[in-house]
């Protein structure tokens, strides 16, 4: 509260000094009273302010305590999380180290595998060259084998030919004390113009006659000239089977060697197939006496075999 000032105006000089002092005392008392009142009011204000400040501080302390407790909980949680993260970090660090080892091992393995691959590639190229060489050798061997097979077949053919001629050699040739002497024709055969002829004395069918000739490495005679016809009919009236037939195709006469008939020496009116309607026989084979006649192949007559004479030069194998 502000102090009040008092002034003594004109006309107051006539107060006496006691009144003056009395007035001054009253003033001082009033001032003291006002000072005490002011002090009491100030104390109240200070107390109220301190109370408000205390309440505020108390609230702040409580708030800070709550915050501190929350922060402590969060700090504990964060410590736990940090510990967990630390553990995880340790695990991850170990895993990283293991992965680094694995990567290093993988790189090493890859390097080794690359080296092995390069070596395998070289080996493959060598094997490919060897394979091509073997294929070439195989082809050469196959060609040689084919050539040898042909040679073998030729040798076998010559051997079979020689083997087939062995009985003929024994027929044509006889052994003396010092050497083997060979005749142009087997014993009992007749030689004529480089051919050997056998005139049978027994009779049989045409087919059996041909088989008998084959057994002697010969065939029923094939007549190729009039001179040959005269030779085989020198026996006169005897009838012989010759190697002519139309059994394969009626009316088409062929020799037993497969050649067609070019010149015939038929009896007048022949061939007439005369027995075609009698006894179920067909005249498909030919006999000769002076001329030719067609007769059923089942009939029986003598036969004439023909083969080549033995060459005076050695037989080739």
Q: Measured between alpha carbons, how far is 136 from 36 in angstroms, rounded to an integer?
A: 138
- State the sign of the Cα–Cα–Cα–Cα dihedral 204, 210, 212, 216: positive
Instruction: Report whether pLDDT(12) > 70.
Output: no
Q: Measured between alpha carbons, how far is 128 from 241 in angstroms, rounded to an integer?
A: 71
Residues 296 and 281: beta-carbon distance below 8 Å: yes
**Joined tokens for residue 140:** 């050469």
Q: Measured between alpha carbons, how far is 36 from 50 in angstroms, rounded to an integer?
A: 20
Residues 189 and 199: beta-carbon distance below 8 Å: no
Q: Which of 8-17, 203-212, 245-254 has the highest mean pLDDT?
A: 203-212
Q: What is the DSSP string of 30-79?
A: HHHHHHHHHHHHHHHHHHHHHHHHHHHHHHHHHHHHHHHHHHHHHHHHHH
What is the chain's Cα-based Rg?
77
Question: In the prediction, which pLDDT does 60 show?
Answer: 82
Tens digits of residue pLDDT in 185-240: 888 899 999 899 999 999 999 999 999 999 988 999 999 999 999 999 986 678 99
Per the prediction, the chain carries an average pLDDT of: 82
Residue keyed to tokens 């004439």: 304
Tens digits of residue pLDDT in 54-77: 888 888 888 877 877 777 787 788
Question: The whole model's pTM is what?
Answer: 0.48
Q: What is the mean pLDDT of residues 255-277?
A: 83
Q: Which of 13-17, 80-84, 86-90, 285-289 has the highest mean pLDDT?
A: 285-289
Q: Tally Cβ neighbours within 10 Å of residue 127.
A: 12
**Structure-model confidence comparison of residues 76 and 104, the more confident one:** 104
Q: What's domain 191-308's architecture?
A: Roll (3.10)
Q: Residue 19's pLDDT band (boundaries 50, 70, 90)?
A: low
């Amino acid at each position: 509260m502000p102090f009040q000032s008092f002034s003594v105006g004109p006309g107051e000089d006539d107060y006496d000094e006691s009144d003056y002092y009395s007035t001054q005392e009253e003033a001082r008392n009033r001032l003291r009273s006002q000072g005490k009142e002011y002090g009491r009011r100030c104390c109240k204000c200070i107390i109220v302010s301190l109370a408000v400040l205390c309440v505020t501080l108390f609230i702040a302390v409580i708030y800070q305590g709550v915050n501190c407790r929350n922060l402590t909980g969060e700090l504990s949680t964060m410590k736990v999380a940090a510990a967990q993260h630390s553990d995880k970090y340790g695990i991850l660090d170990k895993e990283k180290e293991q992965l680094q080892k694995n990567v290093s091992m993988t790189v090493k393995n890859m390097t080794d595998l690359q080296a092995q691959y390069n070596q395998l590639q070289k080996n493959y190229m060598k094997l490919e060259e060897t394979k091509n060489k073997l294929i070439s050798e195989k082809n050469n061997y196959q060609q040689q084998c084919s050539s040898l097979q042909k040679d073998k077949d030729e040798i076998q053919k010559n051997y079979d030919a020689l083997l087939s001629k062995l009985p003929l050699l024994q027929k044509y040739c006889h052994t003396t004390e010092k050497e083997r002497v060979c005749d142009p024709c087997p014993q009992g055969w007749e030689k004529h113009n480089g051919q050997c002829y056998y005139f049978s004395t027994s009779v049989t069918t045409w087919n059996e006659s041909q088989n008998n000739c084959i057994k002697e490495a010969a065939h029923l005679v094939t007549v190729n000239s009039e001179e040959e016809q005269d030779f085989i009919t020198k026996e006169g009236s005897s009838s012989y089977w010759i190697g002519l037939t139309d059994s394969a195709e009626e009316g088409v006469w062929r020799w037993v060697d497969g050649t067609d008939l070019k010149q015939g020496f038929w009896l007048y009116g022949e061939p007439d197939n005369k027995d075609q309607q009698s006894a179920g026989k067909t005249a498909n084979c030919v006999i000769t006496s002076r001329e030719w006649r067609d007769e059923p192949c089942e009939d029986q007559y003598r036969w004439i075999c023909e083969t080549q004479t033995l060459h005076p030069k050695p037989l080739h194998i």
